[in-house]
A and B are shown apart, each in its own frame.
Chain A
Amino acid sequence: MSIISGEELLANGMDKAVELMAIAANTAMSFGPSKLKIVAIGPEEFQQMADFCEGLAEVSPLFNRDGRSFVDLAKEDARALLIGAKRKSVYNFDCGACGFRTCEELNKAEVVESVVINGPCCHFVVYDVHMAANAAASVAWYMGLHCRVFITIGGAASGCELIEDCDFAVGVGVSYQSKDPYFDRHKYWTEEEWEEHFAREFPSFTRRFMGAVE
């Protein structure tokens, strides 16, 4: 029998895992006939998204946090499954959750375009996309992959035009490294930086008593 190296096994396994996740996303439970766009991305795209997030770092702490980790994910051969859809309602529920009385009014409403998401979106389209993301994540989890669902991956991917013809998207990041790269990412800020942010966001905590100024 030919010997297959660990690296090769992991990389090939990862490809198959992403394929299975796409199947789980496509067959996930949904509220109706929503059309999902599914795309898988790899290390080069993570690098591209890291650059995009760096541009948004000043305005969004979330993009800042995830952008820093995308650089490492690109080095670690991480992958992500992107799932997106068009914003319009295909259900005809007339439920009112979007703020419009009927689905027809929502579909006729003027599009509000922004860098990463175009609104207003039908709530149930978004639910379907996120249920698909959750189904993909659960398959990844059963296969033992580290995974996390990121709105920022979806946003950055739309911004970098990695997923076409979608009004919004979400990403499921997966990794086969021994350490989970998606949680407890303490290495992205120094202790001083952390103290500074904490003191700024929760001033009453560092004053120890509400209203007591030393």
Chain B
Amino acid sequence: MERKLREYEERRAESAKLAAKLLLASATTTPRVGGVDEISIHVLETRDEIEDMAISIDKMADDNPAWDFFRSDAVQVKDSDVVMILADRRSGHDLMDSDCNLCGYMLCNMLREAEKLPDEPSVAFRGPFCLLRSLNMAYALNGAVTLARQLGIDHTIKMSVGAAAIKMDLVPYKCDIALGFLASVTEKNPFKDLPKKWAEYNDETLQNRLIHRLFPVFRSIYS
């Protein structure tokens, strides 16, 4: 790659990592229901980690018939510069004890005794969870969203990233629910304006199909 463009590319990637630090700060300082520490934020910033995450999301698409959208999510993860995982380490076992009924169990003690879903590939989060606790993840997510908007960084939120993070053990011990935030510092927003079959027709597959597969054949015939 041309020297000037390589320098630009490196600085662009660096700026995404710098932004991720600020986004983490904004997500951390959003208010919490209950005022107790419970959300931890994990940042994937190297290409290896992000590609691993994309592969794992793509694999999960086969685990549940409702998860077809995971394939397109995997492409979006691959296209992002920073992946943030927001995990709630309390909602599974340390309930809010306010008997709010959001989860559908009148009393918190009833939720404590409720049977958890089995550990199967088709289950993303082994519920039921304390919803009054886990909605703090929404606050943390929106903290990152608010700052990303201010900074002018393309961003989106993904449930599939959280599901994969649980499967890949990227979250604290005994933490069974997480959500994902993707940020990208690129000229074209990779999270919007996507064709319906984005998993099939994206930059990488077109590059592979047209440039790497078809054009060499064309070239050898017509040369």
Instruction: Name A residues whose Cβ lies closer than 8 Å to a Cβ of B.
Output: 28-29, 31, 60, 62, 91-103, 109, 112, 114, 116-121, 123-124, 126-128, 130-131, 134-135, 138, 148-149, 151, 155, 168
Contacts and interface: CB of A to CB of B under 8 A. Distances in A.
Interface residues of B, number: 45
A134 B138 contact: yes
B190 interface: no
A101 B117 contact: yes
B139 to A, nearest CB: 5
Contacts, number: 137
Interface of B: 30-31, 33, 64-67, 98, 100-106, 114, 116-117, 122-129, 131-132, 134-135, 137-139, 141-143, 145-146, 155-157, 159, 163, 177, 179
Contacts of A98: 103-104, 127-129, 131
Given A126-B138, A130-B135, A131-B138, A96 B125 contact: yes
7 contacts: A62-B98, A96-B127, A98-B103, A98-B104, A103-B66, A120-B104, A123-B131
B119 to A, nearest CB: 10
A99 B142 contact: no
B64 A112 contact: no
B27 to A, nearest CB: 11
A80 to B, nearest CB: 16
B142 A135 contact: yes
